[in-house]
Amino acid sequence: VADGGIGFDYRLAMGLPDFWIKTLKHQRDEDWDLGQLWHQLVNRRATEKTVAYAESHDQALVGDKTLAQWLYGDAIYYNMGVLDGDPGAARATALHKLIRLITLSAGGEAYLNFMGNEFGHPEWIDFPRAGNDWSYHYARRQWSLADNPGLRYSQLLAFDQAMLKLARERQLLIKGPATLLNIDFGNKVIAFERAGLVFVFSFNVSESFFDYGIPVPTVGRYRLVLSSDRSEFGGFSRLDEAVIYDTFGGGGTAEAPRLRLYVPSRTALVLAKG
């Protein structure tokens, strides 16, 4: 700032968007390695502030596909109605939310949305050039898609707004880093804590878990403050958000206190104490 700069002293976590695209391109959902995912999310120096992001210009520019294109495939053109029951579109909607939230909550000290990623933009970006006959057709972002309540794009945007609101209110990105609570490799469930919030992500493709034990930092009562499974986010409303969860264990015992949760497949839960 003293030399005329703006004081920006963050670095970009460029490995994160590359990791997500490689995972979607080369691995089945059943084969995702949560240990490798966690390593990618937290692999940064403690004193170096980092901007986390799930999609970058490398994916969104012509020659590759956006995160949404990789997830939805052809369904991004034909099955984006909120009443469309296409299972592929439902899977893509769920994973798009999980990818963004876990990147935001564990990936850095700042978060970046790249030009339409917040609502799953269906097309790449291509600026006018000789190779496309100087066309402006793909030099655009179709914000109108997110404004249409009849399309899944509006649900993806609503989730983005909710997770960013939570991050601001809880000062998530200036408190940290995230602390791992548990990785269940077999069931594809990962839990961690940051800024007093407990994050639980299930990447399980089909199985939901009842009374699933999650270790938490302190004894007490917890409530759900965000669920990716809400219907307004394109989910299935499988969780009762009025339920209060009491810990068991802990309190002087050697065992860490735990919560017993219902954890639906392909769902993210955020819980707060109190």
- Contacts of 263 by beta carbon, 8 Å cutoff, 6+ apart: 189, 200, 202, 208, 209, 212, 269
Note the pLDDT tens digit of each residue in 23-32. 999 999 999 9
- 253, pLDDT greater than 60: no
- 61, pLDDT greater than 80: no
- 76, pLDDT greater than 90: yes
CB-based burial label for 17 (10 Å; 0-12, 13-18, 19+): buried
Higher pLDDT: 59 or 67? It is: 67
- Contacts of 163 by beta carbon, 8 Å cutoff, 6+ apart: 100, 101, 104, 226
- 2, pLDDT greater than 90: no
Note the pLDDT tens digit of each residue in 155-180. 999 999 999 999 999 999 999 899 99
Q: In which residue ranges of the chain is CATH 2.60.40.1180 found?
A: 179-273
Q: What pLDDT sits at residue 5?
A: 85
Q: How confident is the model at residue 77 (pLDDT cuts 50, 70, 90)?
A: very high
Q: What pLDDT sits at residue 63?
A: 66
Domain 179-273 CATH (choose: 3.30.70.1230, 3.40.50.2300, 2.60.40.1180, 3.20.20.70): 2.60.40.1180
Mean of per-residue pLDDT scores for the chain:
94
Average pLDDT estimate for 247-274: 89
Q: What pLDDT sits at residue 62?
A: 63
C-beta contacts of 168-177 below 8 A and 24+ residues apart: 170/195, 170/196, 170/197, 170/272, 171/195, 172/104, 172/105, 172/197, 173/104, 173/108, 173/109, 173/110, 173/111, 174/109, 176/109, 177/42, 177/46, 177/106
- 251, pLDDT greater than 70: no
Note the pLDDT tens digit of each residue in 108-152. 999 999 889 999 998 888 889 998 899 998 888 899 999 999 999
- 224, pLDDT greater than 80: yes
- 218, pLDDT greater than 70: yes
